[in-house]
Structure 1
Amino acid sequence: MGIPAALPDTERLVDWDELPEKVRALPANFNPMALGVLMAHQAEWISMQADLDIAVCEKGRRTGITFAQALTDTITAASAKEAGGDNIWYMADTKEKGLEFIGYVGKFAQIVARGQCTMVEQHIFVDQLEDGSSRNIQAFRVRFASGFRVTALSSRPENIHGLQGLVDIDEAALHKNVAHVLESATALLIWGGRIRVWSTHRGKKNAFNQLVQDVKAGRYGKRAKVIRISFDDAVANGLYERACFMRGAEPTEEGKRDWYTAIRSAYGPRKAAMREELDVIPRDGDGSAIPGVWIENAMPEVRPILRIVFDDDFPKRPELEREVWCATWCALNLIPALKKAAEGFDGRWAVGMDFARHRHFSVIKPARITQDLRRDLPFVIELANAPTRQQEQILWAMLDWLKDKQKAWTFAGDATGPGQTLMEYTGDRYGRAVYDEKHSTWGGGPVHEVTLSRAWYGEWMPKYIDLFQDGYITLPRDASLEDDHRAVEFIDGIPMVPRIERKDLKDAELVRHGDGAIAGALMNYAALNHVGGQVYEYHRVRPGAQSDRQVQIGAGWRNKEGIW
């Protein structure tokens, strides 16, 4: 059920025609209410709770789990003790969700309890602590003639200490301290209480995902189980038809297709978020590290993207033929772009390269370092399926031109894995940078061979992100390059590109891996570690902390706004 198996390996939007027939079908004369108030997946979630101490649902957005839980909780609280009645304690991550849930209960209660209940009440819940003291907790509740009640509390773990009954934890992944909430709720099991937890995911490292994995592994015993309900499961069970029913609209096949496609398209390039929120596939990271508005501000105009997508037969051509073709391309495209970019500019250059051979793009990002130390990229080179020799030829054509024109430049290249060979040859040709710890300067040649790692990302990616925040970088306006930067996420607090691939926005047959963002971070590394001067640091200082004059520190200048 749900998304085809091919999706986890790519970031493409699912084609409607590839979906299972159960999702696409619109049965003739379909009555969405024929099977009752609940859809099949809602009923399955409720029925599985009967014999479990801990029931967990990892779900897609807007699949109706909270609605279904409110209905069964109303029935439970309205029932006598001998019929299974009990108190319900509902905990959400926000006050608004608590009000929404208790509102459902209030409406259901008027039907289920036939007036033998109160309206929704706001009250102060007095919590008695073990040391004899007490505290007041704001809560919302509906009380029933059975003597039981449904109460919506805040998500503070201590709110359920000493309580007894059934505990609901809604959108558990969004709670500030879900691990402690679960620990507090577990004590209720001693006297026959039960715990129901449901949520969309918020990253693989979130406590909710850890709970899901632990329950699946049997670490909570046989009376704990997990159910998985995706957005597509809900669609297959009549979500679209019920939405039409509620609006008084007529469901149609074309309408269903447009509705479904619009929901997925609304995520734009945030495919990892779409997969997490709709397809119940937790992502590696914790959200985009570079806000979209920062990226847009850094792309003021359309500039050249020198892009080559080599066909599969090109590497099989004779070596001389490949060299002639590539030399011609450099003469017609690369060198004119360099000449135009160098007109009227006598400052230094910084060049970064993220290497790839087969699946991803190799990206070369040259930047002019302006007088105020801005990184201004006049163009970007993108190479797909490029033989290593031709990548070498293009890179060296650029570096040779900068050297011949006596431009000051520094290069940092990805020497991880298959890129190591090219970076070694480049270091041999132009000279490797050597760090002098005594004088805190770089000497030797202008080439940095960088081995990418979590530690490297942790130190250098934040410096690259700072350029966007402070408006100190300009890039070509380009959809694929923008998508590369949106791919940078916080993973365990470190901004880096997760292992998920994303479809290239210009050619659906190609994939990317945040290549442009990685090349940018390498470019900035080269800019901050240039040969012949002290290491630059990029800092922010408090407004007003410096006078209007510029202050020289080392080889860098800090202007009156406090920007290096």
Structure 2
Amino acid sequence: MKREKAQAIPAPAEPEGAGAHGEPAAPVSAQLLPYQVAWITDKSPLRLWEKSRRIGASYTLALEAVLNGMETGGSNTYYLSYNKDMTRQFIKDAAYWCRRLEVSAKQLEETIITNDKKDITVFRIVFASGAEIAALPSVEYSLRSKQGNVILDEAAFVEDFEGVKKAALALLIWGGRFSILSTHNGEDNPFNLFIKKIKSGAEKDWSLHFTTFDQAIAQGLYRKICEVQQRNWTREGEQSFTRTIYNIYKDNADEELCCIPLKAGTRYFSRLLLEGCTGDGCVIVRERFPDTFVHERKGKKEAAIQTLFTKKIRSALRHITGPAYFGFDFARSGDLSVLWLCEKRAERLESRLILELRNCPFDEQYLLLTQIISNVKTLVHGKCDARGNGQMIAEKLSLDFPGFCDQVMISSGWYARVMPQVKSLLEEKGCLIPSDDYLFSDFSAVQLVNGIPKIAERVREGATGAARHGDGAVALALCVDALLEEGEIAAPYGAETHPGDASMFQGY
């Protein structure tokens, strides 16, 4: 059974990049970076690319797929990845290249095929030549009865790497090529073990490519980004961009950006697990305060906090009707203070608000938290980090909202008790989190240390000092802890529960 939605891919009136008098656009090779050209010009039937994130590798393969299918007698390309969003994006990239190259094609946005095992969602482009590009789920039976080229993207995150590889290699009997590419996902991952076999000579005939993020930058990645976004390249801008990317991946930068697989058995939350639990409906607010803010007069600081709450936060709280829980991980400078607020819907915990504060003074953190708590009328329970300086805010909240805000002295014992509960909840799809690289990097900081899943020691300090080190992961763990231990309260928090909240911002 097939259900299809077709869409023609329009050709542009004039090729993008054409000259003022309609001259043809520059050759495709001139639009690519050296490492991308090296891949496209490699005609080996077996290729493997060990790569960093964010370097345009999948974008390159989409171009190659179009080039292979556009000519008379062109070849099919079957793209497989573990994530439906990635397969959809690959087809969008291929459609972009069809427009850029003025290739006549029809885009079948989505086809659902029912076979003897389960439904398969296929995204497809069909060329006038009769060839096709199809984006498929990464299961071996999706390649059944196929003929052409196969791409296995983010292979380190595929559940059945060996099964898909075996099915893809069978297609080479009738011609075609097999390309594997991925960032790393641990030292003992089948992808990395396969690379070791190739390098040792146990697997022959494979052409190996290797590109780190730093290599991509050196070969012009940021210059190309500036060109596409039509802004001037500067050395300072490139350095700032590089720092930003390293700060996103932080303690996991060696694996995500430098192609160094993480030591076996240390990472506690895999990226595959996190991406399988993503959902919409969560507002993320990130606010950084200048060093001068702490010296402003009290009224001005309170006004700034009220403005932040009114403009960026309050709307996220209005639609919370189910039981609500929060966790708050404190930091004054350096690291982040993170509030993670969830709503329980049916039997699932759904993220509604994540607030990240950097360099926010103690009193203003407390004022903002009280505003949020006072406006969540279905609040059931919350837990606050009470280590070190965090104890001051945690203690005040526990006194002002008795029964609703608990103090937690985070320790190895707490990690050992709570982190497995968080992991189990995610594995059972019992908690939805936003798809956000910054937050994913926080979870990568949770590693097994002497058998306990906890925030590992820092391995990299950002050049900007804009550190984050597992802050979001701890905040969610505190939220889950609040869910699991609701306290001795009889009913959710209500407007009448805290008589002082109405006058807290009198006059604003």
* TM-score normalised by L of structure 1: 0.47
Q: 1:98 aligns with which of 75, 87, 100?
A: 87
State the match for 1:251 in structure 2. Answer: 233
1:123 and 2:74 matched = no
Q: Assess if the C-alpha contact under 8 Å between 1:110 and 1:117 holds in 2.
A: no
1:151 maps to which residue? 134
Q: Distance in 2 between matches of 1:463 and 1:248?
A: 50
Q: 1:542 to 1:215 in 2, by over 3 A?
A: same
Task: Please list the CA deviations of residues 166-198 of structure 1 after superposition, one character each: whole Å capped at 9, or x if unmatched.
Answer: 101111112232232212212212222321111
1:232 and 2:221 correspond: no
Deviation of 1:542 (Å): 8.9
Instruction: Supply the distance in 2 between the matched residues of 1:33 and 1:151 (Cα, whole angstroms).
Output: 26
1:138 aligns with 2:96: no
**Equivalent pair of 1:294/1:469 in contact (CA under 8 Å):** no
Larger Rg: 1
Q: Give me the CA root mean square deviation.
A: 4.7
CA offsets 1:215-253 (integer angstroms, 9 cap, x no match) = 2222221x2122111111111111111111122211112
| Aligned with residue 280 of structure 1, among 243, 248, 259 | 259
Partner of 1:46: 40
Residue 302 of structure 1 is matched in structure 2 by 388
SS at match of 1:139: strand
Name the counterpart of 1:353: none
Between the aligned partners of 1:43 and 1:154, the Cα distance in structure 2 is: 27
TM-superposed CA distance for 1:78, in Å, is: 1.3
Q: Find the counterpart in structure 2 of residue 466 from structure 1.
A: 417
Instruction: Tell me the distance in 2 between the aligned counterparts of 1:239 and 1:303.
Output: 42
Matched with 1:36 is 30
The letter for the 1-side match of 2:33 is M
Cα distance in 1 between the residues matched to 2:61 and 2:194: 20
Q: Please say if 1:167 is aligned against 2:124.
A: no
Q: Which residue of 1 aligns with 2:244?
A: 262
Q: Which residue number in structure 2 is paired with residue 80 of structure 1? A: 72
* 1:484–1:276 distance in 2 versus 1, CA, 3 Å: closer
CA distance in 2, matches of 1:86, 1:464: 53
Quote the Cα distance in structure 1 between the aligned partners of 2:56 and 2:68. 19
Alignment match of 1:489 (pick from 447, 462, 468):
447
User: 2:219 and 2:240 mapped to 1: Cα distance?
Assistant: 18
1:2-44 CA distances to partner (integer Å, 9 max, x unpaired)? Answer: xxxxxxxxxxxxxxxxxxxxxxxxxxxxxx9996111101111
What CA distance in whole angstroms lies between the structure 2 residues aligned with 1:237 and 1:484? 29
Q: Distance in 2 between matches of 1:68 and 1:151?
A: 16
CA separation in 2, counterparts of 1:162 and 1:470? 43
The number of equivalent residue pairs is: 312
Partner of 1:57: 49
Instruction: Kindly provide the amino acid, as one letter, of the partner of residue 143 in structure 2.
Output: I
Contact 1:295/1:468 (<8 A) preserved: no
Q: Structure 1 residues 464, 215: closer, same or farther in 2, change over 3 A?
A: same
Give 1:502's match in structure 2, choosing from 456, 459, 484.
Answer: 459
Change in 2 beyond 3 A, CA 1:486/1:54: closer
Specify the SS of the correspondent of 1:159.
helix
The amino acid of 1:118's aligned partner reads K
Give the aligned residue type for 1:287: R
Contact (CA 8 Å) 1:202, 1:286: kept in 2 or not? no
Alignment of 1:372-387 (within 5 A): none
Amino acid at match of 2:67: I
Whole-angstrom distance in 1 between the partners of 2:59 and 2:86: 11
Alpha-carbon offset, residue 274 of structure 1 = 1.0
In structure 2, the partner of 1:414 is: none
Q: Which aligned pairs between 1:6-21 and structure 2 lie closer than 5 A?
A: none
- The residue number in structure 2 matching 1:69 is 61
Mapped partners of 1:263, 1:155: distance in 2: 28
Q: 1:125 to 1:261 in 2, by over 3 A?
A: same
Deviation at 1:124, TM superposition (A): 3.8
Separation in structure 1 between the aligned mates of residue 50 and residue 109 of structure 2, nearest angstrom: 31
For residue 93 of structure 1, report the CA deviation from its aligned partner.
1.5
Decide whether the 8 Å contact of 1:295 with 1:485 is kept in 2: no
Unaligned runs of 5+ in 1: 1-31, 128-132, 305-373, 381-460, 472-482, 509-513, 515-539, 549-564
Question: Relative to 1, partners in 2 of residues 1:107 and 1:34: Cα closer, same or farther, differing over 3 Å?
Answer: closer
Cα pair distance change 1:125/1:87, threshold 3 Å: farther
Give the AA of the match of 2:459: R
Match of 2:107, SS state, is coil
Cα distance change, pair 124–496 in 1 and its aligned pair in 2 (3 A): closer
Supply the AA of the counterpart residue of 2:38. E
**Equivalent AA in structure 1 for residue 388 of structure 2:** V
Pair 301,199 (structure 1): closer, same or farther in 2 beyond 3 Å = same
Q: Distance in 2 between matches of 1:254 and 1:160?
A: 47
Distance 1:265 1:190, change over 3 A: same
Give the Cα separation in 1 of the matches to 2:207 and 2:385: 49
1:255, distance to aligned residue in structure 2 (A): 1.4
| Structure 2 CA distance for partners of 1:494 and 1:144, relative to 1, 3 Å | farther
- Choose from 96, 99, 105 the match for 1:107: 96
SS at match of 1:118: strand
State whether residues 167 and 194 of structure 1, in contact with CA within 8 Å, keep that contact through their aligned partners in structure 2: yes
Residue 283 of structure 1 deviates from its aligned partner by 0.8
Could you tell me the TM-score, scaled by structure 2's length? 0.52
| Alpha carbons 2:415, 2:454 under 8 Å: kept | no
Displacement, 1:470? 8.7
Query: In structure 1, what is the Cα distance between the partners aligned to 2:232 and 2:483?
Result: 60
